[in-house]
Chains A and B, each alone.
Chain A
Amino acid sequence: MADQVMQITDDNFEGEVLKSETPALVDFWAAWCGPCRAIGPVVEELAGEYAGKVKVGKLNVDENPKTPGQYGIRAIPTLIVFKAGEVAEQITGAVSKDHLKAALDKAL
């Protein structure tokens, strides 16, 4: 399932996320963040379950500082649901899968 999670970067963010035809979920993470490791598998599961309906991606904030800066992200994991180029929901911290599913279902 992991291969359904797209690697989002500062370079492809606009094309893949803001201009995405479907809603997109982006997991802003870094290797040094423990809770990011806890939520990583949940994000991968969602990518499988919402395949074709929601684009699911991960953005490494260490390697891509520009995009998190644009959204004022100062804590990770931060998960943002984008719909038509706008922030539909922004979630900070490791939350349950049901919480994330509710946010995705709302954007669909």
Chain B
Amino acid sequence: MTAVDHDLAIIGAGPAGLTAGLYAARSRINTLLIERLSPGGQILNTDWVDNYPGFPEGVAGFELVDKMRAQVERFDLPIISSEVIQIVPGEGFFTILLPDRDLTARAVIIATGSVPRKLGVPGEEEYIGKGVSYCGTCDGPFFKEQTVAAVGGGDTACEEAVYLTRFARKVYLIHRRDQLRAQKIYQEKILANDRVEVVWDSVVERIEGGDKGVSGVGLKNVKTGKSSSLPVDGVFVWVGLTPTTKFCCDLVELNAQDFIVTDPEMATSRPGVFAAGDCRAKLLRQISTAVGDGATAAFAAERYLENLTHG
């Protein structure tokens, strides 16, 4: 067989990648974990995690990341900090193109996760960092005693809207339907919080502002068709996720929303390439489901590697 740098390369060190790395390292597979920034992924945007088992009081997002990282370090998993530009398939191996060099591996697990989806309305790009935000824990404290809009109706939007009331005087939750999609526990918190006002059946048409940043949002009621303007100091957007899969769009099959299609064993359309976590097409994107994906992907990759050797 061709000489390769590693048997397995895992791309992305969020919960899915770290778990895959943990399992691979414990199976003594020659593995490399490649992360663009530092380990953590979307958990780093999360102030507090109450739905990951084993932490009866809940756990801070960054603390959970630190624990996951410490656990893989205990089993000597090498982690490098680099972006991956492309994965090129070869005969029984893959070449992973980094900005400054190439690496080879016999199998790959893609665990690149996703990033918050943008609204795609005028003013959004212009005011990022000047009132438009996708991270409540990062930017909420800049809006002390101010008025903000939170856009969305799912778990993240509802949880974060409540979180923002620690700082903001008033939070308008702007939702395009007449009921929330979030789990009941989040809905209850929203409806019980007198600093949150839900603006039902409404979409954001544009974000307004000036030299000092955001000054308001232009809304449209989808039932009446009426447009209105709501003065706010900030806009927090939580309308879903965009998967980080552009770099592998020629390698594996993606669904219409660009999530990677896999079978129940995390195998993609390309033999030897597996996917795990938020970048994968699936029903529920949570830390708990990412961790399960990661374990399965590592196990499936191990079996693939065994067949490659003995097959």
A residues whose Cβ falls under 8 Å from a Cβ of B: 30, 32-42, 45, 62, 72-78, 90, 92-94, 96-98
Complex alpha-carbon distance, A36 and B61, angstroms: 13
Selected contact of B81 from candidates A32, A41, A75, A93, CB within 8 Å: A41
Chain A hits for B131, CB < 8 A: 74
Chain A hits for B129, CB < 8 A: 73-75, 78, 90, 92-93
At the interface, yes or no: B222 with Cβ under 8 Å from chain A?
no
B45 touches A37 (CB 8 A): no
A35 touches B213 (CB 8 A): no
At the interface, yes or no: B128 with Cβ under 8 Å from chain A?
yes
Number of B interface residues in the complex (CB < 8 A): 33
Chain A hits for B128, CB < 8 A: 75, 92-93
At the interface, yes or no: B179 with Cβ under 8 Å from chain A?
no
The B20-74 residues at the A interface (CB cut-off 8 A) are 36-38, 40, 43-47, 61-62, 65
> What are the 5 closest A-B residue pairs judged by CB atoms, nearest first?
A34-B44, A92-B129, A75-B129, A38-B37, A33-B138
Asked, given contacts A30-B141, A98-B83, whether A74 binds B234 with beta carbons under 8 Å apart, the answer is yes
Chain A hits for B44, CB < 8 A: 34-35, 37-38, 94
A75 touches B38 (CB 8 A): no
A39 touches B130 (CB 8 A): no
Contact with A along B127-138 (1 / 0, CB 8 A): 011111101011
Selected contact of B45 from candidates A35, A45, A78, CB within 8 Å: A35
Complex alpha-carbon distance, A5 and B242, angstroms: 34
B46 touches A75 (CB 8 A): no
Asked, given contacts A73-B129, A74-B213, A75-B142, whether A35 binds B83 with beta carbons under 8 Å apart, the answer is no
Q: Which residue of B lies closest to A69 (CB)?
A: B142
B137 touches A34 (CB 8 A): yes
Q: Give 24 pairs: A residue, B residue, CB < 8 Å, sorted on A.
A: A30-B141, A32-B47, A32-B138, A34-B46, A35-B135, A36-B138, A38-B40, A39-B37, A40-B38, A41-B38, A62-B141, A72-B211, A72-B212, A74-B130, A74-B133, A75-B129, A75-B130, A75-B133, A75-B138, A78-B129, A90-B129, A93-B129, A96-B83, A97-B81
B38 CB, min distance to chain A CBs, angstroms: 5
A72 touches B213 (CB 8 A): yes
Complex alpha-carbon distance, A96 and B128, angstroms: 17
The B77-100 residues at the A interface (CB cut-off 8 A) are 81-83, 99
Chain B hits for A77, CB < 8 A: 138
